[in-house]
Structure 1
Amino acid sequence: MSDRDRIYERVARHYNDTGFEFESARLSQHFPIEFAITSRYLNRWISDNATVADIGVGVGHYAELLASRGCCIYLVDISQRLLDATYTRLKAIGLHERILGMHCTSATQLDCLNVEFDAVLLLGPLYHLCSIEERQQPVKAAAKILKPEGLLFAAGINRLTYFRELFRTAPELVLTRKDFHQQLLQDGNIDPTHAPPLGYGHLTTSEEFHQLFKSDFQTVTLTGVESFASPWQNSFNNLAPAAAEAWLDLIETTGTTAEGLGMTDHFLYVGRKKAENS
């Protein structure tokens, strides 16, 4: 087994075992702003009844959102447990017939998707691909399976979130992690020792993330999903609906600014497939 395959196996095991419970509650309980803003962009740009490849489905929050609008979904994840949870989620609300296929595979191995899609979601896989060559593979695959002018939605994690959380929770570790911090600033790669909730993964910068898509996609937007609200997302669940929407308007407005991109936890890239002769 290659080193790359070992890491993929560890990522799958992470979500099949210890990471499953956190992933189950992550968007609804801990990161509701991430979910709300990402949902805004999906609803705005993906038409009803579209055919969508959801690569890295988690427990199916976005699959449910799109299936409820009549979209047909192909589910892909490296964790069979997450795929099963998504199927159970959609079946419980009568939307499982919107699932046209389920594939347990890595985002770097997407030959199983042999149809054309209106939209492709990569709202998680790029977190776990530690080399630029690996990250390019699902981006290239998305361009291949998308219809002309189809849309890609991709998420990345801001590299600075690691430092912010370490400063908040264990600032004394700055003395023993100097070498790791220099490495992280250079390549963005983390591991289960330094970032247990994510395990093996990659944290990016806004410029690096933007560059990843330029050869195959025309940028629609690059936004900081949580903007200034990143550290206080739990407060969002306690807001009245009108106040929640007003704050989301401000978060979305500021998310595309340099300041919003700098403060955010997650980047969201939306791009349109380039014409082959462009």
Structure 2
Amino acid sequence: MTDQHELDARIQSYYSGTFDEGARLATRSAQGPLEHQRVQALIRERVPAGSSILDDGGGTGAHGVALQEHGYDVTLIDPVAQHVATAEASGVSAQIGDARNLPFADGSFGATLMLGPLYHLSAEADRRRAITEAIRVTSSGGWIFAGAISRYVALGQIFLTRDPANGDVDEWVELLRDGTPSSRLRFPAGHFHTAESLERELLDAGAVDVHVHGVEGPAGVFLEQLPVDVDPAVADAARRLADEASDTAGVRDMSAHLLAIGRIP
């Protein structure tokens, strides 16, 4: 298991200089807009407009800005100062903070999004703390939306970029069995989930009525290889597949990102 202090330092370095998180959901590939649209739809289907939302680990504010445009009152928190500055410049109330220790009173929000923290935390205890904190600051009857990266897609992407003959079989087994990321990843991943393990973590922390969705659907990995201005017919077909297969067991794990949605008792 990766030391979390080392991982936290890698997160700061990666998002402050190596990777443009703001472009990921907008211009990096055709996958980003699909992910953004699907997550937005799943949120707005459940959370009434006008509700207060905490965007916990909200990055540069891609979701926060869109939700504000639809009438939500958004507060964003993120550990990367550069992300916070970008979100504030976009008009979102934002501050630096850690998902494991949220600086808000109990029941402060009608819904909490945590679309990034869980896959950057390697220890189950840290993930449990982050989920518990998200539940704590969300009012009774409110919603929690917890994102994760599929360990099956993570395994598949190894073979898109690497000759399997040169691979480490023990590392592949650890990934599939325990969600342990490869030590050679540039991306500062702490843990990869299955839909079932993500559901279990939310239930164990106290959420109820938890359902897990695949975000991008079976065509999402293909769209990651295509430019953002892909043929609209291709983008529409991918969206249709994602919508139809959203919570189908097994198929949902073909999405790069998983989204667990639960209620606060």
Deviation at 1:249, TM superposition (A): 3.7
Q: What pairs with 1:62-77 in structure 2 (closer than 5 Å)? A: 62-77=63-78
Deviation at 1:236, TM superposition (A): 7.0
Q: Does residue 12 of structure 1 match 2:20?
A: no
Q: Structure 2 vs 1, CA of residues 245 and 50 (structure 1 numbering), >3 Å: closer, same or farther?
A: farther
Q: Structure 2 vs 1, CA of residues 237 and 153 (structure 1 numbering), >3 Å: closer, same or farther?
A: farther
Q: Does residue 265 of structure 1 match 2:252?
A: no
Q: Deviations over 1:7-30 (max 9, x none)?
A: 3233222211212x2x12111132
TM-score by length of 2: 0.88
Instruction: State the one-letter code of the partner of 1:163.
Output: L
The corresponding residue for 1:207 is 196
SS class of match (2:258): strand
Unaligned runs of 5+ in 1: 91-95
The corresponding residue for 1:103 is 95
> Do the aligned partners of 2:217 and 2:239 also contact (CA within 8 Å) in 1?
no
Q: 1:226 aligns with which of 216, 231, 240?
A: 216
Q: What pairs with 1:40-51 in structure 2 (closer than 5 Å)? A: 40-51=41-52
Which moved further from structure 2: 227-236 or 207-216? 227-236
The corresponding residue for 1:182 is 173
Percent of aligned positions that are identical:
25
Q: Distance in 1 between matches of 2:157 and 2:5?
A: 29
Deviation at 1:250, TM superposition (A): 3.4
SS class of match (1:212): helix
Deviation at 1:243, TM superposition (A): 7.4
SS class of match (1:130): coil
The corresponding residue for 1:83 is 84
Deviation at 1:185, TM superposition (A): 2.6
Q: Structure 2 vs 1, CA of residues 176 and 136 (structure 1 numbering), >3 Å: closer, same or farther?
A: same
Taking only aligned residues, the RMSD between alpha carbons, in angstroms, comes to 2.1
Deviation at 1:237, TM superposition (A): 4.2
The corresponding residue for 1:117 is 109
Q: Distance in 2 between matches of 1:270 and 1:62?
A: 16
> Do the aligned partners of 1:32 and 1:237 also contact (CA within 8 Å) in 2?
no
Q: 1:148 aligns with which of 136, 140, 154?
A: 140
Instruction: State the one-letter code of the partner of 1:207.
Output: E
Q: Distance in 1 between matches of 2:235 and 2:167?
A: 41
Q: Deviations over 1:100-147 (max 9, x none)?
A: xx331221121x122610000000110101111010111111111111
Instruction: State the one-letter code of the partner of 2:160.
Output: R
Q: Structure 2 vs 1, CA of residues 161 and 246 (structure 1 numbering), >3 Å: closer, same or farther?
A: closer
> Do the aligned partners of 1:236 and 1:244 also contact (CA within 8 Å) in 2?
no
Q: Distance in 1 between matches of 2:161 and 2:5?
A: 32
Q: Distance in 1 between matches of 2:119 and 2:36?
A: 16
Instruction: State the one-letter code of the partner of 1:159.
Output: R
Q: Distance in 2 between matches of 1:72 and 1:176?
A: 47
SS class of match (2:25): helix
Larger proportion of helix: 1
Which moved further from structure 2: 149-158 or 252-261? 252-261
Deviation at 1:246, TM superposition (A): 6.2
Aligned residue-pair number: 256
TM-score by length of 1: 0.84
Instruction: State the one-letter code of the partner of 2:118.
Output: L
SS class of match (1:189): coil
Q: Structure 2 vs 1, CA of residues 69 and 168 (structure 1 numbering), >3 Å: closer, same or farther?
A: same
> Do the aligned partners of 2:219 and 2:241 also contact (CA within 8 Å) in 1?
no
Deviation at 1:231, TM superposition (A): 1.6
> Do the aligned partners of 2:195 and 2:258 also contact (CA within 8 Å) in 1?
yes
